[in-house]
Amino acid sequence: SVALPIPHAEGLPPEVIEQVRVQPGQGVSGWVAEHGEPLLIEDITRDGRFARRERSGGQQRKYTTRSLLSVPLLIGTEVVGVLNVNNKASNAVFTERDRDNLTLLASQAAVSVENARLYETLQRLAVTDPLTKLFRRNYFEEQMDAELGRSRRYRRALSVLMLDIDHFKRVNDTYGHQAGDMVLQALAGLLRRYGRKDDVIARFGGEEFCALLVETDPDGAKLAGERIREAAAAFAFDVGRAEPLKITVSVGYASFPLHGEDGNQLVARADLALYAAKHGGRDQVRGYETGLEMPQEGDSDER
């Protein structure tokens, strides 16, 4: 049982629609939501279930209608909303026939509401990594293209961070894959906490994460990377053992337009900077520099 917002209403001030949340059991809508039954009120002023609010001056709020009809939007036995109507033409009283007609309309509306909810859920699952609840790589790449277009148009900086957990294989080998998953989830929480509202943070694959930093130049990217690196190093990761686990992360970054003109180039060069951080001793932040190369096969040590 959760509070019900008002997604749409005719005749109510915008601030009321935006601010009001109806608790289960509160007023007519709350009663219908709690009981899952239609409610026909012939005279509001004589029905104690209708919550009459008082203004600051102590005067009761006056209603502009006497008769009101409220029906639940039901999916099976679950109430997914409430539909209210009042102010019947010519100030007439709602009838049982009105109730039956509105109940039929509500059943059709409930199906539409449920379909919308299912679609929203499927859309969210399509772009969200199930373990970390961060975005998937495909969504990150789509947003990269869109943000690069805006950055070119308005001549704004844009940066990409690539982040990798140091010696993550040892975590899995020593504590088990379940503990490794707990580390990934906790680190994802840190990334959300230190990310800005407009940043796009995603799980790139395995123990590697990426972040799209809008309106961020190389200096800003380095600062963001250092904040994340320091936060990870200071965090105690609970993996279900007596002692919490400590980890470090390595970070690489590349920025538009200095280090690349398209998304693939920026990601590749941020990844090169990440490998430079790994091979430079880990637990550090590196920016892309001309001449950086991916280590040759056989030269790469355990990440």
> Quick one: 134 exposed, middle or buried, by C-beta within 10 A (0-12, 13-18, 19+)?
buried
Please give the pLDDT value at position 112: 84
Q: In the structure, how many helices (H) and strands (E) does the chain have?
A: 8, 8
Residue whose C-alpha is closest to residue 198's, from 259, 163, 251, 156? 156
Please give the pLDDT value at position 56: 42
Share of the chain above pLDDT 90, in %: 50
Which one-letter amino acid corresponds to residue 257? P
Please give the pLDDT value at position 88: 81
Please give the pLDDT value at position 190: 96
Please give the pLDDT value at position 49: 60
Residue whose C-alpha is closest to residue 166's, from 302, 292, 2, 3? 302
For 257-271, how does the pLDDT look when each residue is reduced to its tens digit (9 = 90+)? 999 999 999 999 999
Q: How far is CA 73 from the centre of its chain?
A: 26
Q: How far is CA 75 from the centre of its chain?
A: 25
For 68-80, how does the pLDDT look when each residue is reduced to its tens digit (9 = 90+)? 888 988 888 888 8
Q: What is the CA radius of gyration of the chain?
A: 28
Eight-class DSSP state of 230: H
For 128-181, how does the pLDDT look when each residue is reduced to its tens digit (9 = 90+)? 999 999 999 999 999 999 999 999 999 999 999 999 999 999 999 999 999 999
Question: How far is the C-alpha of 210 from the C-alpha of 146, rounded, in Å?
Answer: 16
- The neighbour count for residue 241, using CB atoms within 10 Å, is 10
207 is catalytic: yes
Question: How far is the C-alpha of 249 from the C-alpha of 233, rounded, in Å?
Answer: 7
Residue carrying the six token digits 């102590």 = 58
The torsion region of residue 264 among left (phi > 0), alpha (psi -120 to 50) and beta comes to: alpha
DSSP 154-176: HT--EEEEEEEETTHHHHHHHH-
Q: Out of 18, 142, 207, 293, which one is annotated catalytic?
A: 207
**262 — phi, psi (to 5°)?**
-130, 170
State the pTM of this model.
0.64
**Residue 55: pLDDT band by 50, 70, 90 thresholds?**
very low
**Residue 302: pLDDT band by 50, 70, 90 thresholds?**
low
Please give the pLDDT value at position 62: 45
Q: What share of the chain is helix, strand, coil (3-state, %, to 5)?
A: 45, 20, 35
Please give the pLDDT value at position 197: 87
Average pLDDT of the chain, as a whole number: 85
**Residue 51: pLDDT band by 50, 70, 90 thresholds?**
very low
Please give the pLDDT value at position 223: 97
